[in-house]
Structure 1
Amino acid sequence: MSFISSAELVILRKMYPEGCRVSLERMVDEPYAKLHPGDLGTVRNVDDAGQIHISWDQGSSVAVIYKVDSCNCLMTKEQMDETLAQMKRIPFENMDRLQAWMEEKLLPVFPKLFFRPAINGELLVEMGCSAFTLKNARITVGFTQDAQGH
């Protein structure tokens, strides 16, 4: 295991905050994890040795080792919160436009995103992963429509 300085650890924790979504770039010497470049997961924490502990969407919980393996942060929890806050401020013409906007913003980070049919003023969006502390993470979008269906 490589030594990590306290300055490097601070930077690493800023780069990979808890709850951020990551994509695996490279993993060395982990034959049992069955992870491949491009696999997605959610950061649980960065330990004092600089290992990035990740809950991978495919079910494993394997750490990315500092200076050996690599991953790329796709979206922090704060960026996700801001994306959802933006959604609240935009008056979408119809459900198709809302769905298209959400797909544009979230599909690169949640490729298994799934929209359930809107019922009674709610659209349920399944995130398509259980890599969060909450299993089967989803978003519920409440909406109202005018007489023209907007």
Structure 2
Amino acid sequence: MYPKGTHIRLTAMSGELDMPSGLTGTVDFVDDIGQLQMTWDNGRTLALVPGEDSFSAISQPKPVQTRTEKPDAPLIGSNGNIFFTHIKSGRHAGAG
């Protein structure tokens, strides 16, 4: 729900007086118990605890698009040559 790189705005953090409302930070990762491990713009690295701390996501990283194609789909080069992306393993024809 909060991938690495998500920008967060803090509303309130339980027990942390030097973490003011409105402070922003970036999610580094979500740990095994669901806490958001953060790097805050004030230089601190404190975890957010969903359900205990109040915050909102202000932006999320754009998903990386990957190129998918069929394994045997030909690619046409700028010079008109056709290339195939599928390589079969095994012995070559005529090999003894």
Category of TM-score, reference length = shorter chain: 0.5 to 0.7
**In the alignment, does 2:52 pair up with 1:68?**
yes
In the comparison of the two structures, how many residue pairs are matched? 64
Query: Shift in Å at residue 19 of structure 1?
Result: 0.3
In structure 2, the partner of 1:17 is 3
Q: Could you tell me the TM-score, scaled by structure 2's length?
A: 0.61
Question: Structure 1, unaligned stretches of length 5 or more?
Answer: 1-13, 82-150
Quote the Cα distance in structure 2 between the aligned partners of 1:24 and 1:52: 12
Which has the larger share of strand?
Answer: 2
For the aligned residue pairs, the C-alpha RMSD in angstroms reads 1.6
Q: Could you tell me the TM-score, scaled by structure 1's length?
A: 0.40
- Equivalence map 1:1-150=2 (5 Å): 14=1, 16-31=2-17, 34-78=18-62
Structure 1 moving runs of 4+ over 2 Å:
none
Instruction: State the percentage of identical aligned residues.
Output: 33
Question: Structure 2, unaligned stretches of length 5 or more?
Answer: 65-96
Which has the larger share of helix?
Answer: 1
Quote the Cα distance in structure 1 between the aligned partners of 2:36 and 2:16: 14
Quote the Cα distance in structure 2 between the aligned partners of 1:36 and 1:42: 15
Give 3-state SS (helix, strand or coil) of 1:22's partner: strand
Quote the Cα distance in structure 2 between the aligned partners of 1:19 and 1:62: 15
Larger radius of gyration: 2
Instruction: Describe the superposition over 1:87-114 as per-residue Cα deviations: whole angstroms up to 9, x where unpaired.
Output: xxxxxxxxxxxxxxxxxxxxxxxxxxxx
Query: Shift in Å at residue 66 of structure 1?
Result: 2.3
Which structure has more RCO (C-alpha within 8 Å, separation ≥ 6)?
2
